[in-house]
Structure 1
Amino acid sequence: MVSRVIPVEPFDLVIFGGTGDLARRKILPGLYRRFQAGQMTDDSRIIGAARGELSDEAFRNLVAEAIAEFLPKTQQDPAAIADFLKRLQYVAVDAQGENGWPQLKALVRDDVVQAFYFSVAPALFGDLASRLTAHGIAGPQARVVVEKPFGRDLATAKALNATLAQHFAESQIYRIDHYLGKETVQNLMAVRFANILFEPLWKSEYVDHVQITVAETVSVEGRGAYYDTSGAMRDMVQNHLMQLLCLIAMEPPYHFDPNAVRDEKLKVIRALDPVRPEDIVRGQYVGLKGQASYLEDAENKNSKTESYIALKLHISNWRWKGTPFYLRTGKRLRARASEIAITFREPPHSIFDDAEGWRENVLVIRLQPDEGMNLKVMIKEPGPGGMRLTQVPLDMSFADALGEAAQDVPDAYERLIMDVIRGNQTLFMRGDEVEAAWAWADPIIEGWERRGERPQPYDPGSSGPEDALMLMHRDGRRWREIR
């Protein structure tokens, strides 16, 4: 199978924070990959913007170093890199002052697609938006990309939305969540809505429960000061896991259209029941074998911020009433793994005597690593001696099924930036969607803060706190092994 690459229109992309960590690690190497794949036209340009004074040549050297550091050698073509660097320029801009804006205006063309990536702290979003319009740089069709965290509660999210709305229409604002750019996440919609096999079974009548897991082995070292003001709930659940939940639970949209898809996601968030305190488990990793604890990494010995959280959710609509959704995410866990597991109910009656050997059918969507899908079904165990049942996987690894095309699958940031240039908002969050997610999350956070609860300790390399296991055990269910 050969992956098709469709070039986008000519564009000028301005990256505010163009010398920052995200730009170096993801945005600029990703843009080089899209250039190498033939998706960028020769007259497209990338303009780095930051406070520091740099020449174009110095910025190009920085980008060349980032490509060398963050992309595998097999993807580094010296001739392609040299050609890509020619399309880069740099301007020093003061987001909160007037320095550099006339120079930026002179660089940005008004006869191509204009895109402005705010790879900066949210506190600067308003300053950038106001100066882009005040200096006449952003045209009426310009697009702005904003990174999370998009607020830390409902009030700040509303304030950010209002600030951006003073200068840009909602159709111009692209709130980026890189999880939605992952190939397997998008395949959730294809699996559900392009296959009659699954859609009739996608409801509480046939689904026993759903598990969503995002496990990380890394600590918060190096970003502890930021993380300690957010925690797993704000950093992961309110955005990444919420988006995965919406794609699993949403109704079929009338068309694969940005607003139609986001309308259905919004309905899911609004249908979420309030979460009871007993259905929440918060954890904090401890130090072990010379490794620092969360308190040490956060440099706050009295911190009550969670590095792990597990929740049991219910959706009050006709499709999902009675089916629990179990979500968990955490740092310093046993393995790096992100997956969604849909566990189907047992048949109402078994004709086989081997009841103890019975296992449910499970559809597992692996987001990382080894992206793919796995459907576990029951078959007869080979050999004589009667009808003994065993569970086997019907496995589809993207790498195996798609061959070379799977190796060329764009990184999430690559795909999403190209969608910005195309003007496709399907995989970006809408303002009311962000606000609805915070409206659901705020009471949960306020509840444990009011009760003064401390997260439970858990060992690095484990699956999280013991009470997280009990969250499912009391329902007669078990978490899937993190591996």
Structure 2
Amino acid sequence: MTDTASPDTRQRDADDAGLAPTHGRPYGSVAVAGVPAPDSNSLRDPQDRRLPRIAGPCGLIIFGVTGDLARKKLLPAVYDLANRGLLPPGFALVGFARRDWANQDFEQIVHDAVKEHARTPFREEVWKQLKEGCRFVPGELGDDASFERLRATIEDLDRERGTNGNHAFYLSVPPRMFPVTIRQLKEHGLADQSPRHWRRVVVEKPFGHDLQSARELNRIVSEVFPPEAVFRIDHYLGKETVQNILALRFANQLYEPVWNANYVDHVQITMAEDIGIEGRAGYYDGIGAARDVIQNHLLQLLALNAMEEPVSFDAKSLRIEKQKVLAAVQLPRRLDLHTARGQYAEGWAGGVKVPGYLGEEGIPADSRTETYAAIKLEIDTRRWAGVPFYLRTGKRLARRVTEVGVVFKRAPHLPFAETATEELGHNTLVMRIQPDEGITLRFGSKVPGSQMEIRDVTMDFAYGGAFTESSPEAYERLILDVLLGEPPLFPRHEEVELSWQILDPIVNYWAEHDKPDQYPAGTWGPASANEMLARDGRTWRRP
């Protein structure tokens, strides 16, 4: 999924990124009114979140730097961090890919990606200093000579740029290439840890394609890197609106007392896309919506909404509570009745007629890969016993939206005549993750007039209208956390394996049964998904 910033957002970024005070100065220092810019290595109070977190001397090596992820997300995020003054002056950026490029060619690629996709304004002085640390290493992931060139490049950067041996390796490559890349890092001494420097690895999703492959990948990674040096990227966890779930729940006395089975009827977690596979047939076919989205994004959202209050927001405490929730998830006994899958057919999207999934370039005519998946889960804990969690995701749906809807039980309405509340639905708290980030609360209110008539109304909080600060893009936050060595937003291997334990029985069941149901592009999915909720006397929300 691609997040795009509106012109208004770009302008807010320019206003809020602290750019005006830093004009004319290199990145790596941040000015506070009347105070000299602090050095990136100066001591800070780790509890004082008002101060910016600036990475120390380090470098970032991106494998697969020619891919869409690097061009549209990673390289612009690095520039935006530099523009915000959050990278050290000697920061180094190394690209590794199968291209016969010189350093100057790579610099141009980075420049073009930044100009097209960066969220903060382009500034020559920032670009000039970032460019000085750019290097490119041509090569193959399985080629020893290529990794020897990479090792020599890193050693040169340590001397020239003062990166001090601190390097993070970002694996923006197909998952099948993770093992060979990690083994090469080990064999050429690039993963060696010491008290004087750190080495870290960043692994993009998917983390395997089932439980067995995830365990094998985790075994390979753990043989080379210690657990604290492994960062598994789930970019959804870097979104401000996802992190705000914890603030909403635990910083407010209003919500936590009713966040349980006594008051909650059910929870709906939706990630809908209005686009198709967008030329990603080679990746998507055989993976499908459940593996691509539910195993990581949606189960992480479930865990954050259902977890108990952690003793603190450090990585270990958060991980413990999320693992408890995932370990307590129960699958429905009848997978035929409480799961649904679909495949988009031709239809209309944005006023344009679009092909069905089987008509997309590169998709076999007999493909059984689902582009829509919906499942019902329950959590076997005292807090959530009997409360269903409905998860759904799909492509070519009616609109792009990601949200969590907490639907509360109906009030008994004993004082009211039946006709007074006939238009009243369930109280619902909706946390909008994207694109209209915010929170909506739906509740009943009296209609003006002489009669006692109750009707649903909403109160709405929008991030864009409530704060002058703009939210950093998810990859900015996550890359900075990698360079700082702060892991709260990264799932550990235990969470990954628990997620596959939940999903494997479902995708295995689907593999043994009929093809996915067809649904017209531009709709909200197959009829079987509506029937799934209708069996429980419920309906899907229409965002």
Please state how far the C-alpha of 1:26 moved relative to its aligned partner: 0.4
Tell me, yes or no, if structure 1 residue 229 matches structure 2 residue 286.
yes
Write the distance in 1 (CA, Å) between the matches of 2:392 and 2:239: 19
Please state how far the C-alpha of 1:227 moved relative to its aligned partner: 1.0
Tell me, yes or no, if structure 1 residue 323 matches structure 2 residue 383.
no
Write the distance in 2 (CA, Å) between the matches of 1:138 and 1:299: 39
**Residue 423 of structure 2 corresponds to which residue in structure 1?**
357
Within 5 Å, give how 1:135-284 maps onto structure 2: 135-140=188-193, 141-275=198-332, 276-277=334-335, 278-284=337-343
Tell me, yes or no, if structure 1 residue 7 matches structure 2 residue 54.
yes
Give the TM-score taking structure 1 as reference length: 0.94
Aligned residues of 2:270 and 2:402 also touching (Cα < 8 A): yes
Give the TM-score taking structure 2 as reference length: 0.84
Aligned residues of 2:79 and 2:118 also touching (Cα < 8 A): no
Please state how far the C-alpha of 1:272 moved relative to its aligned partner: 1.2
Please state how far the C-alpha of 1:361 moved relative to its aligned partner: 1.7
Please state how far the C-alpha of 1:31 moved relative to its aligned partner: 0.7
Which residue of the other structure, out of 428, 436, 441, is the alignment partner of 2:490? Answer: 428
The amino acid of 2:492's aligned partner reads: R
User: Aligned-pair RMSD on alpha carbons?
Assistant: 1.8
**Residue 419 of structure 1 corresponds to which residue in structure 2?**
481
Tell me, yes or no, if structure 1 residue 111 matches structure 2 residue 196.
no
**Residue 175 of structure 2 corresponds to which residue in structure 1?**
122
Within 5 Å, give how 1:333-412 maps onto structure 2: 333-353=397-417, 354-382=420-448, 384-403=449-468, 405-406=469-470, 409-412=471-474
Which residue of the other structure, out of 34, 41, 45, is the alignment partner of 2:88? Answer: 41
SS at match of 1:311: strand
SS at match of 1:125: helix
Which residue of the other structure, out of 359, 363, 367, is the alignment partner of 1:296? Answer: 359
The amino acid of 2:435's aligned partner reads: P
SS at match of 2:205: coil
Instruction: Tell which deviates more after alignment, 251-260 or 124-133.
Output: 124-133
Q: 1:352 to 1:68 in 2, by over 3 A?
A: same
Write the distance in 2 (CA, Å) between the matches of 1:358 and 1:222: 44
Write the distance in 1 (CA, Å) between the matches of 2:216 and 2:382: 34
SS at match of 2:393: strand
Write the distance in 2 (CA, Å) between the matches of 1:461 and 1:134: 50
Instruction: Tell which deviates more after alignment, 222-231 or 328-337.
Output: 222-231
Please state how far the C-alpha of 1:349 moved relative to its aligned partner: 4.3
Aligned residues of 2:191 and 2:225 also touching (Cα < 8 A): no
Instruction: Tell which deviates more after alignment, 100-109 or 198-207.
Output: 100-109
Please state how far the C-alpha of 1:112 moved relative to its aligned partner: 5.0
Aligned residues of 2:190 and 2:199 also touching (Cα < 8 A): no
**Residue 475 of structure 1 corresponds to which residue in structure 2?**
536
The amino acid of 2:347's aligned partner reads: L
Write the distance in 2 (CA, Å) between the matches of 1:113 and 1:402: 35
Write the distance in 2 (CA, Å) between the matches of 1:181 and 1:304: 32
Write the distance in 1 (CA, Å) between the matches of 2:500 and 2:135: 38
**Residue 449 of structure 1 corresponds to which residue in structure 2?**
511
The amino acid of 1:35's aligned partner reads: A
Q: Give 5+ residue unaligned stretches, structure 1.
A: none
SS at match of 1:357: coil
SS at match of 2:330: coil
Write the distance in 1 (CA, Å) between the matches of 2:505 and 2:237: 26
- Please give the per-residue CA displacement for 1:302-335, whole angstroms capped at 9, x wherever unaligned: 1111100111111111111111111111000100
SS at match of 2:182: helix
Q: 1:2 to 1:30 in 2, by over 3 A?
A: closer
Aligned residues of 1:47 and 1:89 also touching (Cα < 8 A): yes
Instruction: Tell which deviates more after alignment, 16-25 or 178-187.
Output: 16-25
Tell me, yes or no, if structure 1 residue 81 matches structure 2 residue 127.
yes
The amino acid of 2:134's aligned partner reads: L
Write the distance in 2 (CA, Å) between the matches of 1:288 and 1:467: 18
- Please give the per-residue CA displacement for 1:7-29, whole angstroms capped at 9, x wherever unaligned: 22221111111222211010000
Aligned residues of 2:80 and 2:118 also touching (Cα < 8 A): no
- Please give the per-residue CA displacement for 1:345-375, whole angstroms capped at 9, x wherever unaligned: 1224442331213232211111111111111
Write the distance in 1 (CA, Å) between the matches of 2:510 and 2:16: 51
Write the distance in 2 (CA, Å) between the matches of 1:36 and 1:112: 24
**Residue 521 of structure 2 corresponds to which residue in structure 1?**
460
Aligned residues of 1:114 and 1:139 also touching (Cα < 8 A): no
Write the distance in 2 (CA, Å) between the matches of 1:295 and 1:252: 45
Please state how far the C-alpha of 1:146 moved relative to its aligned partner: 0.3
Aligned residues of 1:11 and 1:113 also touching (Cα < 8 A): yes
Write the distance in 1 (CA, Å) between the matches of 2:258 and 2:199: 42
**Residue 21 of structure 2 corresponds to which residue in structure 1?**
none
**Residue 91 of structure 1 corresponds to which residue in structure 2?**
137
Please state how far the C-alpha of 1:2 moved relative to its aligned partner: 6.3
Q: 1:350 to 1:8 in 2, by over 3 A?
A: farther
Please state how far the C-alpha of 1:470 moved relative to its aligned partner: 1.8
Write the distance in 2 (CA, Å) between the matches of 1:171 and 1:423: 8
Total equivalences in the alignment = 476
